[in-house]
Amino acid sequence: MSDVFSTDSQGALSGTKVLDLSRVLAGPWTSQLLADYGADVIKIERPGEGDDTRSWGPPWLQDGDRQDTGDSAYFLSANRNKRSLTVNIAHPEGCRIVRELARTSDVLVENFRVGTLKRSGLDYESLRELNPALVYCSISAYGQSGSRSGQPGYDSMIQASGGLMSITGEPDDAGGSPQKVGVAIVDIMAGMYAATAILAALVARKDTGEGQHIDVPLYDSQVAWLANQNMNYLVGGIVPPRLGTAHPNIVPYQTFATADGYLSLAVGNDRQFRACMDCLGLGDVPDDERFIDNASRVKNRDTLIPLIADKFRQQPSSTWLEKLGVRGVPVGPINTIEDVFGEDYALERNLVRRLSRTDVGDIPTVANPVRFSGTPVSYRFAPPRLGEHTTDILTSELGFTAEQVDALRQSGAI
């Protein structure tokens, strides 16, 4: 039996049906966002195995007897508000099930190697014949066309080859080396681009009645969101270096050591700079021609930063956080993730939402940060067990009988 759930939602995407053929992170992140906004997401998974990330543990979700389940914490991070349907798309009957679901879906998300789904008749051109209104989103390493389209790719290698690691980490002269970001940020950002593109395509469909194919490459997404660092190179002609926690275009804007730890300073204008210098006992510095405006401070950062760093080391973080906070200078502690969820702010903003599943009880999940005034984000049901909703979907969505479902299961199609 599956857990009690309802696809009803008052969210902005209520009534929108999403068929999710993706796995790992970029695609599931996309579909979880759509689900949070009210869409009914059917997650297609391989029978017996499921999404790759179900096995990416420890840590594991535990049941009521404190025994590990087959679901990793990684899987839980990107799969709430979805229904799980196990289908073998290599089986003719499994392929037919997906095609029939696509016939009545608004959106399909997939991240297979380019060309894989064409062999099963599940590519955009094939499904468009069944459902011209379908918005079909393909996420891949290097896009659907071009010399690299057939190549595989994962987050860390794209962080490296797409430029991010070249600007992340301490500089060589400080003993540093290129570093990757501590989460799979390429996948997450590609998922964000995909979600916004899908929403745009749904809006366009209202005028044309037609869906379209959306091509979201991990590599192109990584390059796109380098933002000011891209433009620093394209306009300035200088390859951006690694600066540790420092900002390439704003000074002072970095982490500083204190008497008992670290804090992060983010001075964004001349008023804040003057207030910061007053707090540090360097009240004459803002009038020095070398530091009189941000452009000057960037040019002379190697002179200014040691002056500031020496002052910060003289008192504990708590003292500086209080002094600078009173003066309106943006500054923050270096919190652990435990610190983040332990703060009063996390409770005030309900950053952790708990969803119930019959086999384990409550499952913690991290809140979607968006707050709508009229169509709130919904937290309808927990990340599903593998194949939890297979029978329900096949009977309610496609009209299969219990006997037909059993036959499909025996044949290996589901």
CA distance between the termini of the chain: 16
Q: How far is CA 31 from CA 68, 106, 190, in A?
A: 26, 12, 12
What is the spatial distance between Cα 80 and Cα 357, in angstroms, rounded to a whole number? Answer: 11
Residue 171's Cβ-side half-sphere holds a number of Cα atoms within 13 Å equal to 9
What is the spatial distance between Cα 270 and Cα 250, in angstroms, rounded to a whole number? Answer: 11
Contacts of 39 by beta carbon, 8 Å cutoff, 6+ apart = 9, 11, 13, 14, 16, 17, 18, 31, 106, 107
List, as one string, the DSSP characters of 237-255: --PPPP-TT--SSSSSEEE
Contacts of 171 by beta carbon, 8 Å cutoff, 6+ apart = 241, 242, 243, 244
The number of beta carbons lying within 10 Å of the beta carbon of residue 242 is: 18
Contacts of 6 by beta carbon, 8 Å cutoff, 6+ apart = 380
What is the spatial distance between Cα 320 and Cα 314, in angstroms, rounded to a whole number? Answer: 10
Q: What are the start-end ranges of the H helices in 2-134? A: 26-36, 73-76, 92-103, 124-130
Contacts of 256 by beta carbon, 8 Å cutoff, 6+ apart = 262, 263, 264, 265, 308, 309, 312, 313
Residue with tokens 């011209």: 132
Residue with tokens 């008023």: 271
Residue with tokens 């200088």: 238
Q: Token digits for 33?
A: 């966002």
Given 51, 187, 215, 220, the catalytic residue: 187
Asked about 220 being catalytic, the answer comes back as no
Closest CA to 300 of 288, 291, 308, 309: 291
Tell me, letter by letter, the H, E, C secondary structure of 304-340. Answer: HHHHHHHHHCCCCHHHHHHHHHHCCCCEEECCCHHHH
Residue with tokens 């789904």: 117
Active-site amino acid positions: 187
